[in-house]
């Protein structure tokens, strides 16, 4: 099994609590979220409609799609309700100093 490759997504100091930050890593749109003392990285495109999740609200460790209201668990990517039925990819995160590092190797 090959080891995950991490790339710098942003600075920890750039992240506001419960405010998603959209970054692009090797052509993949990723929403980085700092909430409840942790940092999560989730694919930024809703699995139901081709819209950016980083424009939505964060609450209870989930990110809500602003267009139709589906929420996705930041830990698993699973939707909590309709209209979305498919999960979105989530990615491993490491913090080194002020750097938020994300691996595009999917956890789920």
- For the purposes of burial, counting CB atoms within 10 Å of the CB of 96, is it exposed (0-12), middle (13-18) or buried (19 or more)? exposed
Residue 84: helix, strand or coil by DSSP? coil
C-alpha–C-alpha distance, residues 47 and 64, integer Å: 12
pTM of the model: 0.92
pLDDT in tens, 38-72: 999 999 999 999 999 999 999 999 999 999 999 99
């Amino acid at each position: 099994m090959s080891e995950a490759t991490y790339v710098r997504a942003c600075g920890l100091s750039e992240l506001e609590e419960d405010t998603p930050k959209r970054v692009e890593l090797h052509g993949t749109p990723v929403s980085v979220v700092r909430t409840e003392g942790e940092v999560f990285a989730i694919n930024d495109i809703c699995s139901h409609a081709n819209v950016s999740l980083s424009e939505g609200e964060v609450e209870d460790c989930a990110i809500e799609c602003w267009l139709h209201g589906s929420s996705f668990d930041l830990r698993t990517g699973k939707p909590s309700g309709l209209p979305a039925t498919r999960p979105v990819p989530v990615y491993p995160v490491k913090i080194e100093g002020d750097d938020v590092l994300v691996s595009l190797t999917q956890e789920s």
